[in-house]
Structure 1
Amino acid sequence: MSQLRNLQIQSVLYHNEKSRIIRSIKSIVRAVDFSIHERIFDKVVVQYGDGSPAPIFTDEDLECLKKEYGEFIELKYEFFGENLGSARGHNRLASLSSTNFIMIINPDILLAPDTILELAKPFWESKNNIGIVEAKQLPIEHPKWFDPKSGATSWASTACVLMPRKAFDSVDGFDADTFFLYCDDVDFSWMLRKEGFQVLFQPSAVAFHDKTLSDEASWRTSSAEDYFSAEAGLLLAYKWSRIDILQNILAYFEQSDVDYYIKAAAEFRRREAAGILPKQYDTNHKIGEFSNNNYGKMRFVL
């Protein structure tokens, strides 16, 4: 096996439950121990960035965690003092280290002991220019299509991914000026593909994503998630030159009686009038994939 040297595992926090974060840390430590034993990495930093109104962890909490797990990981915690969102938060965290690899996970993700090992495999098994590798989420697997032989997929969900820093830096990280909470990972993946990198799904790398479901077993979303998902959909369609789709969404939102649709359309119009929409790409529609109200083809419907 080829050693990939050092790794930063990073996660952006906002109003997360301390107990769930600590449970995630325990799973990270086990996976890190396994990856170091298998000589995948020789040093691992676990960096949290907290955008909550007040710090989730106290200095005493951090000292206890470092004392318990310091043998395996270098634990760091940055209180942002403001809600930076997902994209800007991860850009900030990535700028705080110089590790060869960056792993992004959601705060409630639980890693299997071999998750890091399996995510790293494509980087030494393939000579292709790999930009990012995504883990399989359980118990609700993401329905995105992927090539069963190569693992190639349209985009990678950053609930649990591994990437080389050179890929992250090649696209200047996430587009935080455009995307606050949603679609930053879709856009990031498409930017990587534009630069010639491969985006892969690795089903042998498993991560448990502790989702809260409704009584009907559907995803339970907050009002903020509803709004930023709607806003991001408009901005993604514009950035990736799908004006036809953008116009259809705008018309639907502006005629809707749903508050967050109306608000998202108004925000897009505000940016349009102010001249602060993002630079457009992919006028030939070779990278950005929009299919049946999804970003890329789906294997099944949730």
Structure 2
Amino acid sequence: MEISIVIVNYNVKELLQQAITSIIQAGKNFEYEIFVVDNASTDDSAEMVRDKFPAVRLIENEDNLGFAAANNQALKLARGKFILLINPDTIVQENCFSVILDFFRSNPDCGMVGCKILNPDGSLQLACRRSFPTPWVGFTKIIGLSKIFSKTRLFGRYNLTYLDPDMSYEVEAISGSFMFFRQQIIQDVGFLDDSFFMYGEDLDWCYRIREAGWKIYYLPDTQIIHFKGESSKKSDRDLTLQFYRAMKLFVEKHYQNRYWHVPQWFLMTGIWLRASLTFLGRFFVAVLPGIVDFLLLNLSMLLGIYFGVYWRFGFFPLNDYLIVMLFYSLIWISCLMLTNSYASYKFSSLRTFYGLMIGLILNTSVTFFFNQYAFSRLVVLIAGFFNVVLLAGWRMVFKVLARLNKLPFKNSLGGSLLGRRALIVAPRKSGEKISQLLTNNVDSGYDICGLVVLEQHQSRDDAISIPLLGTVNNLDKIIQKNRVSEIIFSTEQVPFDRILDIIHRTHRKDVNFKLIPSSMDVIIGKASIEYIGDLPLVDIQYRLMRSENIISKRIFDLLIATAAIVLSLPELVYLLLARKACLIRKTVFSENGRPLQIFEFSGNKLSKRQQKLPSLWSVFSGKISLVGSRIIEYDSAKFPSFRAELKPGLTGLGQINKNSAGTLEADQRYNYFYIKNYSIQLDIEIIIKTIFKI
């Protein structure tokens, strides 16, 4: 056997298929074997390999073992004189194997070769040739000197940017995405160190190979395209942590004794300082809208003071009121957070307006209770006016400039703020069409990261151009790993009850849900419609899933339950003492299908209202609600997959419509209607109807 090729795959089925196809083309004149180690992918990658490439030796792991450990599994079975470790998100040139094998034969001291690696846009991927991160090299990288003075030998050693990328030469390290080496390397050096889960294992291996006396070369005579990051998509925070932990492990393993004159704490401080700066930069981008709003809120207060007091009277003791200004601003910021103005709707002028109006009402109320400290109502009203102009205004200007491509920092800071990273939940073919329409419309701002299907068997159709990320069962993990901010549903073959169930299960404040109707004659709860070309995107805003309505419903429950408990206390005592009512514990289904315990009275002569009186305490504690789904006794054998999606309630639409309710299907319809159309007025109407029926 001449060549053994090892590919570690994780959830990049389409790219893996493309990589194997290119490898087969490159190896047609050689005797070779291909290993694919699948690290517990959820996109049916292993099934694809079995169906389309039966000659490939497939190793399936039940858990994600990481890059090093997975490679070692195949390396222990590899029989080739030469071995290639290659990422699944790559395409190799047809002359790749012949060029590199010729180089090995001409250079017997060469133990490992790395080729020229290109990004998808044709630019050079700097990681294809590197130096070890010695204290000086690491220092220049951390503080940015290697980027500023990249063409100088003194500062450009980390990625060897001072060398010609079209010349061949010996290097200290190459990229782990393409490592071609002799079988003898394993015998002399050993396997990859699986202490490195991801990142750093290639650097560590190169270090050990050179320590064993072998040379490593960079060879640009052949090249690959590497879709960097596609094989390891995770949240930015996870990737950054793993990278700097790997650097810490590398320093502890190799530099602790070698650079004895440089204290280890100094090296560790440099690594974690760089990590901290990276996190701080990303944190700053995330909180930037809040910082801008806070500054503008205080500016509005100053304008309110100027026009409301100083302009009229010529004097105002501002220093005495700085804390009061801060208090007012924090109330407005809290109200903006309540309306999701810093999560799903960072640049929504309408949401900002709602939050500011709620804050204005609260701040105006403060003037009634703290007259000696509060500003006059005129100052608050003037500040409220300027808040709307400034806070809603800068969002409108920002969006207009972004649409016109007039933001000078859109590709860096603006990209982080404006990016609408989305996934599509749909059947494969319709999902592909939706993806093409959204992608082709540049002004939409959508970055489609892939497709999610309902069932596993739907992922086994013919290949499509959009990456398949998995099924809805893994949606939470997919959202986190791909940093998704919007989920787009196609109503074609995805029922509305299933859509609502998915939204409920994966409800996150930082994710927007939209749907594309198969026809426009559907009736949906309150929604806004965005047109991308001819494609209508309906923004799903089920009222009870909005944070402000969740809070208002809870406050309503607390107020009514408290009043009802106080008013019914004499009757409770009478029932316990005079009527000998027995307090029983009852196990019912919660909204998530789990067992929930509430209390009721039992007794033959008690009315239904009297039996439910102890349940008011469950309403007060938040276990159940005044208005909600029908209370059903817990029976997991009878209802194995029960989910109401709505808290149990003492009353509700299902309870007052007994003629048309009673079955789980009917109850579910009422629950969905209530979730979509919730309001305090609806709760009051249901309670009044319940009282008159009783």
- Structure 2 vs 1, CA of residues 221 and 211 (structure 1 numbering), >3 Å: closer, same or farther? farther
1:57 matches 2:45: yes
**Could you tell me which of 133, 141, 151 is aligned with 2:124?**
141
Structure 2 residue runs without a partner (length 5+)? 127-158, 283-694
Aligned counterpart, 1:152: 170
1:6 matches 2:2: yes
Aligned counterpart, 2:102: 121
Give the distance between the partners of 1:85 and 1:245, measured in 2 at CA.
Answer: 26
Give the distance between the partners of 1:87 and 1:60, measured in 2 at CA.
Answer: 23
Trace 1:91-130 onto structure 2 (pairs within 5 A): 91-127=72-108, 129-130=109-110
Structure of higher RCO (CA pairs closer than 8 Å, 6+ residues apart) = 1
Trace 1:174-193 onto structure 2 (pairs within 5 A): 174-177=192-195, 179-193=196-210
Question: Bigger shift: 49-58 or 249-258?
Answer: 249-258
Give the distance between the partners of 1:252 and 1:202, measured in 2 at CA.
Answer: 31
Give the distance between the partners of 1:256 and 1:104, measured in 2 at CA.
Answer: 30
Aligned counterpart, 2:56: 75
Aligned counterpart, 2:11: 15
Which deviations, in whole Å up to 9, do the C-alpha atoms of 1:17-64 show, x marking residues without a partner? x2211111111111001xx2xxxx4x2111100112547335575133
The Cα shift of 1:157 comes to 0.8
- Give yes or no for contact 2:248–2:271 (8 Å, CA) kept in 1: yes
1:224 matches 2:238: yes
**Could you tell me which of 7, 21, 30 is aligned with 2:25?**
30
Trace 1:228-239 onto structure 2 (pairs within 5 A): 228-239=242-253
The Cα shift of 1:97 comes to 2.2
- Give yes or no for contact 1:54–1:81 (8 Å, CA) kept in 2: no
Aligned counterpart, 1:245: 267
- Structure 2 vs 1, CA of residues 259 and 237 (structure 1 numbering), >3 Å: closer, same or farther? farther
Structure 1 vs Structure 2 CA RMSD = 3.0
Give the distance between the partners of 2:87 and 2:37, measured in 1 at CA.
Answer: 11
Identity of aligned residues (%): 20
Which deviations, in whole Å up to 9, do the C-alpha atoms of 1:64-123 show, x marking residues without a partner? 323xxxxxxx41111011111111111111112222111011101101110112222221
Kindly provide the amino acid, as one letter, of the partner of residue 99 in structure 1.
G
How many residues align? The count is 235
Kindly provide the amino acid, as one letter, of the partner of residue 236 in structure 1.
F
Kindly provide the amino acid, as one letter, of the partner of residue 248 in structure 1.
G
- Structure 2 vs 1, CA of residues 63 and 230 (structure 1 numbering), >3 Å: closer, same or farther? same
Which deviations, in whole Å up to 9, do the C-alpha atoms of 1:145-178 show, x marking residues without a partner? 268765201101121121011112321111112x
Give the distance between the partners of 1:259 and 1:180, measured in 2 at CA.
Answer: 25
- Give yes or no for contact 1:10–1:46 (8 Å, CA) kept in 2: yes
- Give yes or no for contact 2:9–2:16 (8 Å, CA) kept in 1: no
* TM-score, normalised relative to structure 2: 0.32
Give the distance between the partners of 1:55 and 1:220, measured in 2 at CA.
Answer: 15
Partner of 1:133: helix, strand, or coil? strand
Give the distance between the partners of 2:14 and 2:102, measured in 1 at CA.
Answer: 31
Partner of 1:136: helix, strand, or coil? strand
- Structure 2 vs 1, CA of residues 133 and 223 (structure 1 numbering), >3 Å: closer, same or farther? same
Larger Rg, first or second structure (1 or 2): 2
The Cα shift of 1:189 comes to 0.4
- Structure 2 vs 1, CA of residues 53 and 259 (structure 1 numbering), >3 Å: closer, same or farther? farther
The Cα shift of 1:140 comes to 3.6
Structure 1 residue runs without a partner (length 5+)? 67-73, 214-218, 261-302
Kindly provide the amino acid, as one letter, of the partner of residue 32 in structure 1.
G
- Give yes or no for contact 2:49–2:56 (8 Å, CA) kept in 1: no
The Cα shift of 1:251 comes to 5.7
The Cα shift of 1:193 comes to 0.2
Kindly provide the amino acid, as one letter, of the partner of residue 160 in structure 1.
F
Give the distance between the partners of 1:95 and 1:197, measured in 2 at CA.
Answer: 21
Give the distance between the partners of 1:57 and 1:257, measured in 2 at CA.
Answer: 33
- Structure 2 vs 1, CA of residues 257 and 98 (structure 1 numbering), >3 Å: closer, same or farther? closer
Partner of 2:207: helix, strand, or coil? helix
- Structure 2 vs 1, CA of residues 60 and 126 (structure 1 numbering), >3 Å: closer, same or farther? closer
**Could you tell me which of 129, 132, 136 is aligned with 2:112?**
132
Give the distance between the partners of 1:228 and 1:78, measured in 2 at CA.
Answer: 25
Which deviations, in whole Å up to 9, do the C-alpha atoms of 1:205-263 show, x marking residues without a partner? 200112369xxxxx997433222101111111221215242243246657996599xxx
- Structure 2 vs 1, CA of residues 239 and 140 (structure 1 numbering), >3 Å: closer, same or farther? farther
Aligned counterpart, 1:216: none
- Give yes or no for contact 2:240–2:275 (8 Å, CA) kept in 1: no
1:205 matches 2:222: yes
**Could you tell me which of 179, 201, 206 is aligned with 1:161?**
179
Give the distance between the partners of 1:172 and 1:8, measured in 2 at CA.
Answer: 17
- Give yes or no for contact 2:5–2:85 (8 Å, CA) kept in 1: yes
Partner of 1:152: helix, strand, or coil? strand
- Give yes or no for contact 1:11–1:106 (8 Å, CA) kept in 2: yes
Partner of 2:219: helix, strand, or coil? strand
- Structure 2 vs 1, CA of residues 60 and 225 (structure 1 numbering), >3 Å: closer, same or farther? closer
- Give yes or no for contact 1:12–1:50 (8 Å, CA) kept in 2: yes
- Structure 2 vs 1, CA of residues 26 and 149 (structure 1 numbering), >3 Å: closer, same or farther? closer
Give the distance between the partners of 1:9 and 1:211, measured in 2 at CA.
Answer: 19
- Give yes or no for contact 2:22–2:91 (8 Å, CA) kept in 1: yes
